[in-house]
Amino acid sequence: MKKKSNVSIMEEDDLLVDLTCHGMPAALLSEFAEKIVWPYYGGNMNAAIQDLMQRSLADQDFVFSRITHIRVGSK
């Protein structure tokens, strides 16, 4: 009997992934923690990185929609 995977019934927001960064300069991480994580996220690095990723995706979507709009409008 096959075991049914729980992944198929989980929502996207329920999937959690552990993230490992390789080759990142310690100085960059320290500066990010000092200037962003501690003052704005109370030291919660996880929340800061999630917010950074979400904002980056939103910015990318905005830029892509503008580029598409310009391409379609210039025909």
| Tens digits of residue pLDDT in 55-65 | 999 999 888 88
11 lies in some domain: no
Which are the contacts of 51, defined by CB distance < 8 A and separation ≥ 6?
41
Q: Which range marks the domain in which residue 32 is found?
A: 25-73
pLDDT per residue as tens digits for the range 33-73? 999 999 999 999 999 999 999 999 999 988 888 887 676 66
- Asked whether residue 16 is domain-assigned, the answer is no
Residue 15 placed within a domain? no
Residue 66 lies inside a defined structural domain of this protein? yes
Residue 60 resides in a domain: yes
pLDDT score of 58: 94
**pLDDT for the residue numbered 1:** 52
The model's pTM: 0.64
Q: Please give the structure tokens belonging to residue 33.
A: 């923690």
Establish if 52 belongs to a structural domain. Answer: yes
**What is the domain count for the chain?**
1
